[in-house]
Amino acid sequence: MSTANSQDNHELGETFTQALGEFEEYLRYEKARSPETLRAYTSDLLELFRFAQKVGLTSPWELELEHLREWLGWGFERREARTTLSRKASSARTFYAWAHGRGKIDTNPALRIQSPKGHRTLPKVLSTQDITQLLELVESDILENPEDVRALRNRAVVELLYGSGVRIAELCGLNLGDINTERRTITVTGKGNKQRTIPVGIPAMSAIDHWIRRGRIQWVHSAENALFIGVRGKRAGARQIRDDLNALLSRATSAGATGAHIFRHTAATHMVDGGADIRAVQEMLGHSTLATTQIYTHVSVDRLQKTYRQAHPRA
């Protein structure tokens, strides 16, 4: 269902609603953006359009650079994170570039919008001991009840996330045919519908095999092709996978409740720590630019410095 027709924007004027609907169709069908990206763009533009109406505008085509700056300044006054403000600026630029390209406006008011420069925050990562502890927790759940389907799924999910560095959405999108047990690889569909094949270790493949043979078979009720399914036999959503992972992380006292995306950060950092070529890590993670991947070299240096300060007598 199109967000442009939802109750969230019932107070928008017809011109705003129509523009949002057309832009959403463009993102979904022409650019093949993920549902998460669609929600982010739509949320940002809904806020922008509501702001436009509050200042007396009747169409998104009436906005000028000053309006956009005022809108972003409003977010700054509310102490929104710089990453949030950068995303909003990007949403506005993308929308107005589309509008200009379609001939809806003569000049693009968003061309000169500057994204706030965020302070680089190094992602948190788990230690190998944390990963071991998490897997021991899941193993204990399975030992207590060998038919615990959720525990079998948790083990496969943790092993695969840590073993491959895939995104949660990519993991949820996996089908049975994407698993090559002979070559020990998985094929994922990432951002922009781009596919990549990733090598996976023996522990992850073993956990996937146990999940398929002992866990998944108990929940599946139809010809569902998804690798990871929920209790109703349908493809598991990102939210339920995150909820299970967060619950698992909260039980691991040394790890704490740090968020499910930490497995991707951890996989990348541990690979760099182990001497992996940064371009190989980039390809594995599906980053479009090397700059995105290079943050993990900074994480590794940061970890090295902490170890040095703690262990070296003359640090």
Q: Which residues are catalytic?
A: 167, 191, 261, 264, 287, 296
| Of 176, 197, 185, the residue nearest 284 (C-alpha) | 197
Contact 171, 155 (CB under 8 A): no
Rounded-to-10 torsion of CA 143, 148, 154, 157:
110
Using CA atoms, how far apart are residues 217 and 121, in angstroms rounded to an integer?
Answer: 42
Bridge partners of 197?
187
Contact between 95 and 112 under an 8 Å Cβ cutoff? The reply is no
